[in-house]
Amino acid sequence: MDIKVIAFDADDTLFINEPYFEETEKKFCGIMEAYLSHQSLSQELFRTQINNLPLYGYGIKGYVLSMIETAVKVSNGTVSVKCIEMITELGKELIQKPIVLLEGVEETLKALQPHYKLVVATKGDLKDQQRKLHNSGLGHYFHHIEVMSDKKEIDYLKLIKRLDIAPQEFYMVGNSLRSDVLPVLEIGGYACHVPFHTTWAHEMVEHNVEHENMSEIANITELVPLLLPKSA
């Protein structure tokens, strides 16, 4: 490998994210449980989120709007103003969740930084992701931070062009096979899957992924022996 740039996903790769959304969803279902079961509400919310992705993209703001839309739909327009207020408060709570680094993240970045250009390549709201990275204390490890509207092949090609490198010089690290691994492999880059115990259903793939340019590790610290020169 002739890697020059290592890109890291942020949410559930560098710090905890999805468990906060699961906690919020449970509270939302509790607010709306007079209308549907928790399971049915979760399914309806998921459908609404997916339908809204082309409009709102990824992130907390779109999630809150999808919760409100779901509440209006399942209640046939009878949901109270009080419930809407409670749902918007859930969004504010979600934005203010503490930043909890995953095990081994900082020591891994510290070890890799002298040898590679490190960047963040993540989806979500620009302001929210910038806030999280600032509060994480990890910002100084990264040469560039890219908050992407999506993570498809064309999005990675644009990023690689901005970084002025070839696809085969790009290495992506993340917890999502759909967003962090498959598109990068398709353009000729390298990718490393670091599974997280909780993954949003939209990011899952139903088949095993095997590719000569792909690695899978259990903990992010395994990147160090995988990528550092043996003489380092």
Q: Tens digit of pLDDT for each residue in 100-147? A: 999 999 999 999 999 999 999 998 888 888 889 999 999 999 999 999
Average pLDDT taken over every residue of the chain: 91
Tell me: the pLDDT tens digits for 14-71?
999 989 999 999 999 999 999 999 999 999 999 999 999 888 888 899 999 999 999 9
Nearest to 89 by CA among 18, 27, 34: 27
Residue 9 has pLDDT above 60, yes or no: yes
State whether 205 and 195 are in the same domain.
yes
Q: Which residue has the tokens 């259990």?
A: 218
Token couple for 56:
């709102």
Nearest to 120 by CA among 106, 135, 133: 133
Residue 202 has pLDDT above 50, yes or no: no
Residue 232 has pLDDT above 80, yes or no: no
Nearest to 9 by CA among 164, 183, 232: 183
- What is the mean pLDDT of the segment spanning 175-191? 94
* Nearest-angstrom CA–CA distance, 28 and 45: 10
DSSP, res 11: B
- What range defines the domain where residue 117 resides? 5-16+100-227
State whether 53 and 12 are in the same domain.
no
Query: Per the domain annotation, does 124 fall within a domain?
Result: yes
Enumerate the β-bridge partners of residue 216: 193
Other residues' Cβ atoms within 10 Å of the Cβ of residue 90:
19
Query: Per the domain annotation, does 232 fall within a domain?
Result: no
Contact residues for 107 (Cβ-Cβ < 8 A; gap 6+): 221
State CA 162 to chain mean position distance: 21
Give the confidence band of 210 by pLDDT, cuts at 50, 70, 90.
confident
State whether 127 and 207 are in the same domain.
yes
pLDDT score at 197: 63
State whether 32 and 119 are in the same domain.
no
State whether 79 and 135 are in the same domain.
no
Give the confidence band of 231 by pLDDT, cuts at 50, 70, 90.
very low
Give the confidence band of 212 by pLDDT, cuts at 50, 70, 90.
confident
Contact residues for 214 (Cβ-Cβ < 8 A; gap 6+): 181, 185, 190, 191, 192, 193
Q: In the listed set 95, 117, 136, which residue is the last one of a domain according to the structure? A: 95
pLDDT score at 200: 44
Angle at 191 between CA 117 and CA 181, to 5 degrees: 125
Query: Per the domain annotation, does 165 fall within a domain?
Result: yes
Question: What's the predicted TM-score (pTM) here?
Answer: 0.87
State whether 198 and 156 are in the same domain.
yes
* Nearest-angstrom CA–CA distance, 225 and 229: 8
State whether 121 and 149 are in the same domain.
yes
Task: Answer whether 164's CB lies under 8 Å from 171's CB.
Answer: no
